[in-house]
Structure 1
Amino acid sequence: MIADELAERALASRPRLGRVRLVAIDGPAGSGKTTLAAALAARGATVLHLDDLYEGWTGLEGSLWPRLSAQVLEPLRRGVPGRYQRFDWPTGAFADWVDVPVPGLLVLEGCGSARRAVDPLAVLRIWVEAPADLRLDRGLARDGADAREHWATWMADEAAHFARERTRERADVRLDAFGARVP
């Protein structure tokens, strides 16, 4: 299974974030990143979902990376636990604080997780992709038909982000929505 291979590869790497081996799973919304992250969690990884950090539907840019860096990545680099404030989507505001221990393997999962700023920290950058219609269907099944306009805006924002960051080209591993390697 691909998750076994990826976990072994990450664990065989020298940590770059203090004692932590960081894996970034990136790709468009609805492509299968969360499923892959769950498979790595089943193999002992701690998973941080960027869905908990975005400031709503427009949160891919802006304060996301500065908050993640200051609240989680920098403390982990120093060998101390991180802590971030979780975004509550129904209320549209930041809510409770979530502690992040100092794990041996941390998976950062979500759109924007493998931006260029993570390159010096990540032992593995994984890109997961799927056709736009499948991604939209998955997203609307999860978020409801009323979210269609939000999804359309998000998909345009992420496409611009990925083009600017050249995320797919920089990935160490590229997978399709079902875990098969793609060129």
Structure 2
Amino acid sequence: MSTSPPPAAGPALAALARELHGLAPSCGPVRLVAVDGHAGSGKTTFADRLAGALGGTPVLRLDDLATHRELFGWTGRLRSQVLDPLAAGREAVYDVYDWQARAFTGRRTLPPAPVVLVEGVGEGRQLLRPHLARLLWMELPAAAAWARGRRRDGPALARFWDGWERAERAHFSADPSRPYAGLLVVPDGDAYRLVPGPAHAR
């Protein structure tokens, strides 16, 4: 796996960073910003680049909270271990799932920074939207995103992806995120175009 840093943020991400810093806090003193989208759509890379534009703001990966048995059943853990402490202005300490060991094997801390990014599939779900200052959606169709994810992970994880795609379809069918996104993030080569999302029309 490459350890090289992501490319520097361009003008669009710099402008977005300024906008996010200017939002009202949404979870205690924290402006909680979600980066949602289909698996394989580039959420991790975008969140890392946005975090850099925000001056190194912390990023929570939902892969740390999900499990093989609960691909989308992490809402309770996120609330009790992350949202409740942040809402009280405290550092959050949460359990981290090891996808190889199939168990929670570590813990991480998340400070109540002015802006905290949360990236992962389904972060824009109904139960969590009231805690968000902004919901961003990676604008890549499911089929294209899943194909990217399969190429990244290789044939060894083909069966996992088969199950994942079924689970993701079911989740977004019942609880879609995209209609509530304030901004669509459109990959454009090595950069991004930022387009007002469906929430602007509401």
Letter of the 2:70 counterpart: G
Would the alpha carbon gap of residues 59 and 3 (structure 1) be closer, same or farther in structure 2, given more than 3 Å must change?
farther
Q: Which runs of 5+ in 2 are unaligned?
A: 1-10, 198-202
- Coordinate RMSD, CA, aligned: 1.7
Q: Distance in 2 between matches of 1:143 and 1:91?
A: 17
Q: Distance in 1 between matches of 2:165 and 2:51?
A: 27
User: Runs of 4 or more off by more than 3 Å in structure 1?
Assistant: 131-134
Assess if the C-alpha contact under 8 Å between 1:3 and 1:36 holds in 2. Answer: no
Displacement of 1:133: 4.3
Counterparts in 2 of 1:103-118, with a 5 A limit? 103-118=113-128
Higher relative contact order (CA 8 A, sep 6+): 1
Structure 1 residue 61 corresponds to structure 2 residue 53: no
Assess if the C-alpha contact under 8 Å between 1:32 and 1:129 holds in 2. Answer: no
- CA deviation vs aligned residue, 1:85-129 (integer Å, no higher than 9, x gap): 111111111111111111111001000111112222111101113
Counterparts in 2 of 1:79-158, with a 5 A limit? 79-158=89-168
Q: Distance in 1 between matches of 2:21 and 2:117?
A: 12
> Would you say how many aligned residue pairs link Structure 1 and Structure 2?
181
- 2:59 paired residue number: 47
Counterparts in 2 of 1:65-80, with a 5 A limit? 65-80=75-90
Q: Distance in 2 between matches of 1:163 and 1:114?
A: 13
Bigger radius of gyration: 2
- CA deviation vs aligned residue, 1:5-54 (integer Å, no higher than 9, x gap): 32222111110111100001101000011111011111222100111111
Q: Distance in 1 between matches of 2:43 and 2:169?
A: 16
Structure 1 residue 17 corresponds to structure 2 residue 27: yes
Letter of the 1:53 counterpart: L
Q: Distance in 2 between matches of 1:141 and 1:88?
A: 22
Provide the identity percentage.
37
Q: Which runs of 5+ in 1 are unaligned?
A: none
TM-score norm. by structure 1 comes to 0.91
Q: Distance in 1 between matches of 2:114 and 2:144?
A: 34
TM-score norm. by structure 2 comes to 0.83
Paired residue secondary structure (2:106): strand
Assess if the C-alpha contact under 8 Å between 1:87 and 1:95 holds in 2. Answer: yes
Q: Distance in 1 between matches of 2:62 and 2:101?
A: 17
